[in-house]
Amino acid sequence: MDRQAMAATVRSMALAIADANPEVGSLVLLGILRRGRPLADRLAALIGEVTGTTPPVGSLSTTMYRDDVRAGGAVPAHKGHTHFDFNVDGRTVLLVDDVLAAGRTIRAAMDEVMDYGRPRRIQLACLVDRGGRELPIQADYLGYSIATGPGEWVYVRLNELDGEDAVLLQCGGEPVEPEQEGA
């Protein structure tokens, strides 16, 4: 996927989100660090263009809620912190991530959001679903779906962090950016 294709995909996701959430005033976006945050910013801006109301955006770091940490996995790297300055009580929280895979990041994200309050509902937007689910979680708004097999890895690259917009598929070898594979 190149820059234009990604722009079109993100726009269509924003339209779907705006369509499904007529009460835009109660919508808040939480981008899962790292690449979920710039995606959330883009979606919020596009929702603002369509509806005239730009929902607030925050960042969510799920590292302290991951089940693989408690199982003796790697200590989380320094990838930024959860930060948002709005209340989630009674609101629609839209979680935004780049790659959806096992579903464990999203479970961790939901646990964390619940520690901040009681949203009316939680929705999920992901740019790419690469399959391989280990938990019963699915995206409400999805850009692309790619069924990957063993040894295949999906990387999302975003202009804000990587200097380009692209979705790349790696076949074979070790993953070069393992941080995106915990989803």
Partner 1 sequence: MAEANQTVWTRKDLIGIADLSRGEIELVLDTAPQFVAVSQRASGIKKVPLLQGRLVVTWFHEPSTRTRSSFELAAKRLSADTLAIASSTSSSVKGETLHDTLANIEAMRADIIVLRHGCAGAPHLLAAGHASHIVNAGDGRHEHPTQALLDCFTMRDSLRRRLGNPEASLDGLKVAIVGDVEHSRVARSDIHALKKLGAEVVLCGPSTLIPRGVEQMGVTVTHKLREALADADVVYSLRIQLERQAKALFPSLREYIKLFRIDAETLKFAPDHAIVMHPGPINRDLELSTEVADGPRSVILQQVTNGVAIRMAVMHLLANSAAARA
Residues in contact with partner 1 by the rule CB under 8 A? 61, 63-65, 69-70, 72-83, 87, 89, 111, 115-117
C-beta of 3 vs 81, nearer to partner 1: 81
Q: Which token pair is 154?
A: 């999906």
C-beta of 111 vs 152, nearer to partner 1: 111
Residue 105, burial from CB neighbour count under 10 angstroms (0-12, 13-18, 19+): buried
The three-point CA angle 122-123-126 to 5° equals 140
Residue 142, burial from CB neighbour count under 10 angstroms (0-12, 13-18, 19+): middle
Give the HSE-up count for residue 45: Cα atoms under 13 Å, Cβ half-sphere.
9
Nearest distance from C-beta of residue 160 to partner 1, angstroms = 12
Nearest distance from C-beta of residue 75 to partner 1, angstroms = 5
C-beta of 51 vs 62, nearer to partner 1: 62
C-beta of 76 vs 182, nearer to partner 1: 76
Nearest distance from C-beta of residue 95 to partner 1, angstroms = 16
Nearest distance from C-beta of residue 64 to partner 1, angstroms = 4
CA–CA dist 98, 36 (Å, integer):
5
C-beta of 9 vs 26, nearer to partner 1: 26
Q: Which residues contact 164 (CB under 8 A, 6 or more apart)?
A: 3, 157
Nearest distance from C-beta of residue 164 to partner 1, angstroms = 19
Residue 115, burial from CB neighbour count under 10 angstroms (0-12, 13-18, 19+): exposed
CA–CA dist 88, 49 (Å, integer):
23
